[in-house]
Amino acid sequence: MIDKNIEAFILKQSPTFVKKAEDVAVLHTEHNVAHAKLLLSQYKYARVPVLNQEKEFVGVIGLNEIVDFEMKADFYYEKSQKTSIGEITNHNISTVQQSYSLEEVMHILVKEPFIPVLQGKTFKGIIVRQEILKAFNAFAHDFTKQYEITQRN
């Protein structure tokens, strides 16, 4: 459990750690594998969220999923153009609802570079590991400016 003073300090570092959906690069299930590969390589993203037509989160796709697909398809380019990413999307991804706790987020971000934030099934944005690390950097440098730390006996 995170100390309430530490949690309060961390949460003050940002009004919200959520990067809004409209500011996040996403792919849609109907996009093809070639399009996904182009987006990921052009912008140097490792993974991006995948949404359906109703803007509901369905999973993520990254270079790992694309390379696995290409290995099975023997790098057949035409197959990449005809296969929708919905067929190779990774659905096994941790998410949080908008009412997330800091502790829940920290546990997930140990393994993931970002966490999709949902309202029900609707994609609302992502929490990026880097933003949480910035808050902990501020904690490491500034916490004792506001709080006295004493060692217990």
Class of domain 14-146: alpha beta
Q: Write out pLDDT tens, residues 109-124.
A: 999 999 999 999 999 9
Arithmetic mean of pLDDT over the chain = 91
Are β-strands 47-51 and 27-28 bridged in parallel, bridged antiparallel, or unpaired? parallel
- Put residue 119 in one of left, alpha, beta given phi > 0 → left and psi -120 to 50 → alpha: beta
Domain ranges for the chain, please list them.
Answer: 14-146
Query: What is the pLDDT at residue 11?
Result: 86
